[in-house]
Amino acid sequence: MKQKREILPFVLVAALVGAMGFSAATSAAGKDKPDPKQFARGAKAWAKTCARCHNMKAARDNTDEEWHVDVTHMRVRANIPGDMARDIEAFLRASNK
């Protein structure tokens, strides 16, 4: 019984990360062009949030899939709210073309 309690947090985190990935993939697949307001919010959030710790690099340096992994990882590491992470990812995806 004790082993099940110790594994439960890992299972919950894995389920959450999987759901976030599925959600982002389905929402990104349905839209070719981002909402201009979301693009602007994402650009502002990227410059403000990501520049705190990282040197800014060009959005074209990564593919859409790489940006998705990076944003998902940093959402957890930097405690970035979901709506802000989605805006940042939309900005990066639109900018790397």
pLDDT digits (tens, 9 = 90+) for 11-26: 444 544 454 555 555 5
Average model confidence (pLDDT) across the chain = 78
Higher pLDDT: 7 or 65? It is 65
State pLDDT tens for residues 24-49.
555 555 556 779 999 999 999 999 99
Residue 40's pLDDT is 96
Q: What letters, b where the CB count within 10 A reaches 16 and e where it falls short, cover 3-21?
A: eeeeeeeeeeeeeeeeebe
Using alpha carbons, select from 87, 83, 97 the residue that is nearest to residue 35.
87
Q: Which domain holds residue 13?
A: 2-95
Could you count the other beta carbons within 10 Å of the beta carbon of residue 68?
Answer: 19
Distance CA 29, CA 11 (A): 27
pLDDT of residue 85: 97
**Averaged pLDDT for residues 53-80:** 91
φ/ψ of 79, rounded to 5, equals: 55, 50
Is it the case that residue 7 has pLDDT exceeding 80? no
Tally of domains in the chain: 1
